[in-house]
Amino acid sequence: MAQPSEATEAAEPDSDAPADDAEDKPEQEAQEAPADPAEVEGPRRRARRERAERRAAQARAEAIEQARREAKRRLRAGSADTSKGVPRGTIRGLKMALAVFLTAVLTVGLGLILYFTPLMSVREIEISGITTVTREEVLDVARVKPGTPLLQIDTGSVADRVATIRRVASTRVQRQYPSVLGISVIEREPVVYKDYPDGPHLFDRDGVDFATGAPPRMLPFFDVENPGPADPPSMAALQVMTSLAPEVAGQISRVAAPSVASITLTLADGRVVVWGNTDRTAEKAQKLAALLTQPGHTYDVSSPDLPTVR
């Protein structure tokens, strides 16, 4: 009976062996597991990874293509700039300078042609404003030859020569292209006259003795000692005459000025106007026009605040 017990005890260690093997099996399986991620990821994860890889590859391809196009564009731009050679601003400046130069050359050339050739020469002389001065007098002193180029004519000199005519107060000379020279004349108008041994002399508003001859009807006699532009009494008397209203000036037969402060006017009917000096001349002329409507012989406007009639 003792022998079977030993057999049983000897068999017990063998029954525990499978349990130890069971504990070591997971570690062995883990060591023997395959290292390929594809077998671990699963189908969905693998599909996502592949899509990501495709997108990254596509992005790299597009970036490479964009870089290639940019390189080509820079290459073309560089070649274009090289072919131009000169900046646009410089070319524009050169064109402008050339245009200015050509314009100046054309202008100078045209001016020389007009100055030295009869292309625009004097074919007609127009004279305006003359009544007592004759056309022949003006042409004689102007000394402008027909056929002279207009640009060669000194208009100022021509005007000065025409102004030497005694009856001419002022003149203006103008070129009227293509072939006319215009001379405009303003003649002197007589304001008073004075008798001299050689006959009556006519004086204008500036005191200029500009003509000798019979005075116009109703022209006042100039009763001053030394008439002329340099004589103060003469200029004072002429200032009074030119300030009068036309209807009053037409009645004056004599103006006397022994001094600048004692000017008197005599009307054609014998009435006398005591004027005094030239202070407040315009006001005196206005008062005199009103006073002459009243009967009397002497009209005193020397004090315009207290005009009197006697």
Name all domains of the chain by residue range, CATH numbers in brackets.
121-187 (3.10.20.310), 192-309 (3.40.50.11690)
Record the pTM.
0.62
pLDDT at 75: 80
Task: Identify the pLDDT of residue 30.
Answer: 43
Residue 69: the pLDDT is 87
In the 3-class helix/strand/coil scheme, how is the chain assigned residue by residue? CHHHHHHHHHHHHHHHHHHHHHHHHHHHHHHHCCCCHHHHHCHHHHHHHHHHHHHHHHHHHHHHHHHHHHHHHHHHHHHHHHHHCCCHHHHHHHHHHHHHHHHHHHHHHHHHHHHHCHHHECCEEEEECCCCCCHHHHHHHHCCCCCCEHHHCCHHHHHHHHCCCCCEEEEEEEEECCCEEEEEEEECCCCEEEEECCEEEEECCCCCEEEECCCCCCCCEEECCCCCCCCHHHHHHHHHHHHCCHHHHCCEEEEECCCCCCEEEEECCCCEEEEECCCCHHHHHHHHHHHCCCCCCEEECCCCCCCEEC
Query: What is the predicted pLDDT for the residue at 114?
Result: 60
**pLDDT at 66 (0 to 100):** 87
Q: Determine the pLDDT at residue 91.
A: 77
Q: What is the pLDDT along the chain (310 residues), one digit of tens a residue?
A: 444 444 334 344 444 444 444 444 444 444 444 445 445 668 888 888 888 888 888 888 888 888 888 888 888 776 555 555 556 777 788 788 888 888 887 787 666 666 666 778 899 999 999 999 999 999 999 999 999 999 899 999 999 999 999 999 999 999 998 899 999 999 999 999 999 999 999 999 999 999 999 999 999 999 999 999 999 999 999 999 999 999 999 999 999 999 999 999 999 999 999 999 999 999 999 999 999 999 999 999 999 999 999 9
pLDDT for 31: 47
pLDDT at 140: 97
Q: What is the predicted pLDDT for the residue at 93? A: 81
